[in-house]
């Protein structure tokens, strides 16, 4: 992975230079824009990883730029982090910026170290979100078993298995890491969103039902006595 590029949108030259200096010192590439229109042009023409955006800009406002960048980035299947950098620090201004699509909000009385830390934090959250979305859409294939996480479907030898939401969640979790042993508590934590109440005993019952529906392939779900369950590694 190459250097991360930050787009700094700021019409005050002194602040733009100060921010750019600290970002370059921290190891980032920096592209600068003085207006909202110039910022959108840069965003479309260059590969931008994060945007530092002044709220008070000549012409097109920072909120309009924020909304436009958010719309364009998500249309392309990305979520480019946006940090509002402005002198306006009232609660209503912060809420409005976040509602327009900003990920964070920093007032101009900032510490360079804090600003860098906030940038790294939004980038980290962005990478985690992207990885989760990719994982959520992935398909796991083991022999004749195919688990499509995006469609929430499981097929065995081309036949659709009718699993409950909890059974699907358990199977997808185990199959995501063949050979890895998951404790009952780890499984509960993973599928908690599917059922209101999940207990260790309920996990055993769900595993029993899952194996039954999988037929001879049910042996792929192995019990590790005293620990939990794992999906048999075929490698």
| Domain identity same for 47 and 120 | yes
Looking at the fold, whether 128 and 17 belong to one and the same domain comes out as: yes
CA quadruple 191, 196, 199, 205: dihedral sign: negative
CATH number at residue 208: 1.10.10.10
For the beta carbon of residue 211, count every other beta carbon within 10 angstroms.
18
Among the candidates 113, 136, 159, a domain finishes at 136
Q: Could you tell me the end-to-end alpha-carbon distance of the chain, in angstroms, rounded to an integer? A: 30
d(CA 170, CA 184): 10
Q: Tell me, yes or no, whether 102 and 178 share the same domain.
A: no
pLDDT of the chain, 235 residues: tens digit per residue: 568 999 999 999 999 999 999 999 999 999 999 999 999 999 999 999 999 999 889 989 999 999 999 888 877 777 889 999 877 667 777 778 888 888 888 887 888 899 999 999 888 887 777 666 666 557 888 888 899 887 889 999 889 999 888 889 899 999 988 999 999 988 888 876 544 455 778 888 889 999 999 998 999 999 999 899 999 987 6
Boundary-marking domain end, from 107, 136, 165: 136
CATH, residue 24: 3.40.50.2300
Query: Residue holding tokens 């699907």?
Result: 168
The model's pTM is 0.58
Task: Answer yes or no: do 100 and 10 share one domain.
Answer: yes
Structural domain including 178 reads 139-231
Q: Which of 101, 116, 136 is where one domain is finished? A: 136
Same-domain status, 130 and 167: no
Domain count, the chain: 2
């Amino acid at each position: 992975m190459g250097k991360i590029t930050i787009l700094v949108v700021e019409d005050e030259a002194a602040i733009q230079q100060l921010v750019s200096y600290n970002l370059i010192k921290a190891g980032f590439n920096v592209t600068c824009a003085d207006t909202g229109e110039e910022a959108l042009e840069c965003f479309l023409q260059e590969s931008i990883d994060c945007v530092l955006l002044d709220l008070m800009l000549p012409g097109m406002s920072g909120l309009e730029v924020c909304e436009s960048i958010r719309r364009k980035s998500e249309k392309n299947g990305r979520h480019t982090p946006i940090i509002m950098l402005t002198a306006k620090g009232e609660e209503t201004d912060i809420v409005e910026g976040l509602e327009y699509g900003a990920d964070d909000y920093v007032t101009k009385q900032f510490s360079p170290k804090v600003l860098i830390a906030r940038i790294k934090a939004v980038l980290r959250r962005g990478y985690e979100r992207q990885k989760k979305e990719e994982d959520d859409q992935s398909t796991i294939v083991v022999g004749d078993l195919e688990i499509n996480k995006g469609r929430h479907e499981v097929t065995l030898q081309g036949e659709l298995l009718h699993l409950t939401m909890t059974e699907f969640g358990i199977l997808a979790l185990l199959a995501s890491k063949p050979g890895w042993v998951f404790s009952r508590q780890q499984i509960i934590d993973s599928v908690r969103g599917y059922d209101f109440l999940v207990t260790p005993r309920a996990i055993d019952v769900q595993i029993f039902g899952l194996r039954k529906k999988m037929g001879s392939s049910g042996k792929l779900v192995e019990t590790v006595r005293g620990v939990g369950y794992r999906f048999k590694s075929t490698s």
